Structure formats: C-alpha cells, structure tokens
Structure 1
C-alpha cells in the first residue's frame, strides 16, 4: 500500500540539508506545501520588501522541486486548517514540519497537532532545521538554558551535530493532486534576490574568497564584503546554518572561526527565546526602566534625521536595503535605548518591519542585549556614536554613502561632528542639528538606571 506525506515549509525554503523534506521524501508520494498564514500577514510581517523576497524564495523552491518531479503547492489562510484539509484530500499518513522557537510557532504547532488528530495523521516535528543545534541540545546544570554566551559557546563547539541531509533526487506528487502552474516572482528590488540558488552562490563565494578575512573586516562599516550578508538567506532557510558551519570549519583560519562564532550567537539567541518565549516582548532581566515617551525623537531616529551622522547612516541603510551592518545595528540600538532612553520594543518593531532578516529570536534578543535588559553581562554600557564612528568608519566613507548631504566634507572629523561647523553651515548642507546632547543623555541614562533593581 502506498503512503503519502506532506512537508510543510515554513522558513526552511531549501532542498539541500532540509531534514523535514528528507524525512517526508521517504514516503511513496510527497506533497510540498507552503501556507501564506493569515495570522502572519495580519502582523505586517509578510509585506513590502520582505514579501517580494519571500516570493522569490518560493519561486526558486518550486523550481528546485520541479527538477525532482514534484512542485510547490501554495495555499492561504490558517495553516492548521489548510494542512488538515489537504491531509484529508490526499489521505496523508504524516505531516512533517520544522520546530521553531517563537510563541507564535509553538501555538501554530499545537493547533496543527489538534487538527490532525481527527484525521489520524501523524505530526512529525523536526529539530535543528533553522539552527546548528536544537534549542535544548546543550543546557547548564540546574537550568533549562544558557543565559551567558561564553559558557554556551564552549559547550556548543564540541556538541554532537546531526548529519547533513542529502537533497532528494526524485519526488512524486500524489496522483490526485494536479500539478500547479510554475511559481513566478517579480524581479528583486533589494539587490539581494531571494532563493536557495542565489543563497548557495553567495555562500560559495563568501566561503571561497572572503571568510578568511572576516575577523579583521567585520566591524568596518564601509567594507562592502566585510560581512557575508547571508542573514536574510539564513532567516528564510534558503541556507542551512549547519552546512555553513561545517564548510567554514574546514578552513581553520581566524576569519572562519570568527564567522562560526557568529552562527553560535544565532543558536544562543534561539535557545534563550525557546526557553523564555515571553522575552520576545518582555524584559528578559528587568532593570526598572521608565522609558521616555517622545514620538518626535523616535520618528527622527526611524527616518535617519537625528543629527548624529553614523546613526543616521545606519537607519537610512536599513530603509534603502532592508539590511544593516551589524556594527551599525549596535550603534543605532544603543542610541535609541541609552541615549534617547526610548523603549527597546519600539526599535525592535521598526527593525522587524524593515529587515529582510527580521528573525524574532535574533532581532528581539539582540535588542534586549543592547538595551541592557537581556543577556549582556554589562547592561549599563553606552556606545558613544562618535567614538564608534571614529573607530569603525575612520575615513567617513560609510557616512558619505548614506548621508549624501555631508558627502562633500573631506575631513572625517567634520563629517562625524558637523554641528561643530556651526548652525549656518548645517543649514547650508541641509542637515539637522543633533536632537540630543550626548553627554547629558549619558548622564540621564545612568541616573535612571540607578533607580532600577539589582544595580
């Protein structure tokens, strides 16, 4: 008797090293499915640039499946309802899906399990699909997760890892399912086309030519190839984090080791969120902050009009590309939370709306880290944007690219502190004066944090 499995793609949009697809492919017939979940659409997550990127990922996935004899079925609505309906139509014996860390994913999985119970269809949930290690693969004694990265990383390096899953060679759709028309995506507007094909091309170039210099260039704001820019592909699962770690680990260079360490940070945040799902919205470690309410300051930060060039450059890069250099994320995040003293949740929401790699675990936990409410062991540190600019954009090329009003200033000292040229020159340049005095703002933050608990 023949068997049919459904593979539900969520953010694992690839055929290489996809344990969900590989396990489902063991059945006689396979139905590859992606559901445009109405609950996600309602949050604004799948809109604009991210929706275009997703469409490109799905079109590429469909093409890879067709090469193997299948095709991607797309539905819209409630995921549990749509999967259960198709499971009934094709008499599926099992549904395969990847585990995830967010509260949303946990609720979705529970609803799916309930919907399939009445269909007598098994739900198979696969760990370590989005990450190198599953969330609970390594734990400290007496706790369910690591709250500090360094001891986590020590355990992570030597932990057992699953075997890389081979891409299926041949797949067959159930006879009762008509093959859909091939998916077509509109052309990319981001300069970062979505899909596994593009992801693997970029990863190959990065691992062949660039990764060995990562440790010396990853903080250089102006370096076009100082970082991999693979994060959107990792978020949508066009790339396997395990494959990247395995391939980078064979190089045995300082740059490759530093790159692998960043992927360990990604796993670290995943296991924190999996253990504490509420930390996506609540302080992981409360500091008693009475965040300011200043809509005008928040808007200036969002629009890159704070009058602090390196901060404005980062925010304008985000708006233009849907991506931001990691050092700029730290600088802009510190400026919002510790200089403007505005709630980290406002910053996290803005990033989540605009970032192609807007991953709940990494976005929220990085914001908590920089705000000092998360896992940072130095919660009161303040990143001075002027010193950050001098160190990581010493020639001013990053600011010149993203703040064209200042591009004609030759001296980096003027470029990073244009207000010292005087109000008349600022007006001539068409650039705003700083919305905050950095020293006074630092004092305000320190005074407010002193009121919090355990400080």
Structure 2
C-alpha cells in the first residue's frame, strides 16, 4: 500500500490511536487530515477544537509528520485529498452518531478508495457487547456494566515514532486559539488528577464545592486522550463513569435518533413556557442550586456532573419542559457536548431513556443540602447569595431579610 489518509474526527491525539498506528505500519506515506466541516458546527467549542488541532499538529510534526487541514464537506475534501496525494485508502475512527455514520457510508460508497474503521472513541467498541438473551444492544446499565467489566481490552498503543507524509501538499491554515485544549494538556491533567484525587474519587466526586472530578470530559469528547488509557488508571467508581459513557454510545449506535426521539415513549405532556425556559437558561429560577449550575455552564462551558443532574431534573420534572429543549441548550454550550452522552443522559433524567425507574422522585433542595452543605458552590456562582448564611443559602425565600436582586422561585420548592 502506498499512501493512506488518516481522517481525524473525535480522536485528536497521537497516543493510542489505532487508525494512525495501522497507517504508519502499512503505508509508505501517511496523510493525517482534519476537515473543518460547516455541517458540523463547533459553536462555543470552536476555540477548544482549534487548540486541540494545533496541539495535534505539533505532535505530528515532532514525529516528522504534519496535520493537513481543509475546509468544506468532509467526504468531498477527503476524496480531493486522495486525488492530490495519490492515497488509495482512508483510515478513521468509527463513531456512533447519525451524522458520523452517514459520513462513513458516503466514504465507503466511493468505489475508488478503501475505507477502514478502527476503535478508539470508547473503551469497549460500541457494537461488541450483546445481551445473552438476544438484542443488538444493552438497554439497562447494570448488566452492561458486568459485561463491560469482564470484556477483554485491546492493548494500549504507543505513539508512532515516525510519521512519513508525502511532499508537496499544502498543510492548510489553522487559526490561533488560546483555549486550554489539546493532547498535551489532557495528558498533563490526567496525570496530575490521578495522582491527587483518583484514590478518593468514590467519596469526593459528588462534592460540588470540592471540584474533585477529573474534568477530562472535554478532552475525551475530542479524543485528546484515549478513553482506554483513562480507564487503565484503575478505581472502580471512576471506571463506572467511563462505562456509562460507553453505555450511551452503544445505545446511540442502535438508536441514532437519540437526539430527537424518545428512546422509550411514555406519553409525556410537556409544557411550553418560554419565560420559565429563559429563566432556567439564565440561572434565574430562584432555586439557588439550579441557578448555580446554569451560571457555571454559561461562564465556563462546563458544569459539575451532580449539578447537571439537578438542573436537568428541575427542567423536566418541575417545570415540565421538554427534555429536547434542555439537551439542545447543554449541547450548544458544553465543551464536552457529545451526542451520545448528552442526549443519553437527558433522556435518562426525563424518564424516556434507559432509567429503570423513570418516575423516581427528585428534590433539588435535598440534593443541594447533601452535596453542597455549606453552600460554597452556590455562593461561587450566584453572587447575590454570597453573604447569605448557610441556613438560608439553599432556600433564600425563608430568610427574614429580603435578598436584593435575586428572584422568587418559579415553582413551589420541592420538599427537603
């Protein structure tokens, strides 16, 4: 085989990259390619993406290679690059979203070029595990967790020592970005966090103010770090979170309309309330723990996982607003916005997804008092409540003194 294109998508790294490793082993020359496709708008994630691409380019250049960047339709630009470089094959990481799979089919339909797909987006390939009783995927997490924990893992792959690229190809311009993206930062964060917090993950990951979660999710979303390598860090409680990510990916592979249709329709009657929706998005619901989470999202493009559960449950269970509204808002703003995880989690919360107890009760105030007992997370993100003492920071409407500038609750507060 002469020349192979490695089409990067959600795998912006050189460590443990099966497609890149295979191309370097089998091809005389390799063309690492990323296409900035207007059909896949990155939105708020754009600066982070650009930083990831810049770091990937440096990682490839350090090995004698290059990252070639093009703009346009991914399939058309890949085929154009094949014509320019003389490539006879395209290697890429397999993905699960409807858009990604349509792109894979279009590439495979181009008769003049071989297309090979490789694992790497998840720990366990999404289509590998099947229920023993039949079916194309696991619908319930716990049996999937058992199968996932017992599944054999492929070996971690070292980065290629050398990436030989064809001469005469224009690399393509890449706008500068100061965002903290890229494989170098991801690996540094993974190492530092594992050293300081991995052992205590089970006890500390729900502490809202403590902020002891890994914050690796944006790097996993763009594949700056291999999920298989992250899983190899150990710690069962942490591995379980990675298993949830894999679980949603195997559900999405089987149900690619997860971002639009109820996975399990239950006849919900959603309310259309533009005012309440806007208050929720702005973090002005009058329920401090919800507002703190929503304001963290607006400010950082990230939200603590426990706060995601609280804010989502408030929208669908108390305001009774369609889960698609909330999921779309999260997807627009989150640096780690990912179809499988985002929409799978939202459907779980809404009772239309893979939750085996779709009607479970949920009290935001009880959650607030349990996971932010001193109110420090609330105060950090809702400055109107910075001076409110602990007895009232969770329920400021009970304070004997009015709180200037902070709204009354949109709904009757849930019981403590």
Give the equivalent residue in structure 2 for 1:425: 402
| Aligned length, in residue pairs | 414
Query: Is 1:213–2:200 an aligned residue pair?
Result: yes
Decide which of 210, 234, 246 is 2:220's aligned counterpart: 234
1:180 positional shift: 5.1
- Mapped to 2, the partners of 1:382 and 1:85 lie a distance apart of 54
- Mapped to 2, the partners of 1:179 and 1:242 lie a distance apart of 30
1:186 positional shift: 2.2
- Mapped to 1, the partners of 2:28 and 2:158 lie a distance apart of 17
Whether the 8 Å CA contact 1:220–1:392 is kept in 2: the answer is yes
- SS for the counterpart of 2:40 is helix
- Mapped to 2, the partners of 1:178 and 1:370 lie a distance apart of 47
Give the equivalent residue in structure 2 for 1:436: 411
Whether the 8 Å CA contact 1:339–1:438 is kept in 2: the answer is no
Give the equivalent residue in structure 2 for 1:47: 43
Give the equivalent residue in structure 2 for 1:65: 60
- Mapped to 2, the partners of 1:64 and 1:157 lie a distance apart of 32
1:163 positional shift: 1.6
Q: TM-score, normalised by structure 2?
A: 0.97
- Mapped to 2, the partners of 1:112 and 1:413 lie a distance apart of 60
Give the equivalent residue in structure 2 for 1:29: 29
1:59 positional shift: 0.3
- SS for the counterpart of 1:25 is helix
1:278 positional shift: 1.4
1:438 positional shift: 3.0
1:34 positional shift: 0.3
Superposed, 1:30-429 pairs within 5 Å as 30-41=30-41, 46-48=42-44, 50-114=45-109, 116-117=110-111, 120-127=112-119, 129-140=120-131, 141-179=133-171, 183=174, 185-188=176-179, 193-224=180-211, 226-246=212-232, 248-249=233-234, 256-410=235-389, 412-421=390-399, 425-426=402-403, 429=404
Whether the 8 Å CA contact 2:258–2:340 is kept in 1: the answer is no
- Mapped to 2, the partners of 1:228 and 1:60 lie a distance apart of 20
- SS for the counterpart of 2:200 is helix
Over 3 Å counting, the alpha-carbon distance change for 1:420 and 1:179 in structure 2 is closer
Misfit runs of 4+, over 3 Å: 178-181
- Mapped to 2, the partners of 1:195 and 1:40 lie a distance apart of 19
Q: TM-score, normalised by structure 1?
A: 0.89
Q: CA RMSD in A?
A: 1.5
Instruction: Give the unaligned 5+ runs of structure 1.
Output: 250-255, 443-455
- Mapped to 1, the partners of 2:10 and 2:163 lie a distance apart of 20
1:439 positional shift: 4.7
Whether the 8 Å CA contact 2:292–2:378 is kept in 1: the answer is yes
- Mapped to 1, the partners of 2:83 and 2:168 lie a distance apart of 12
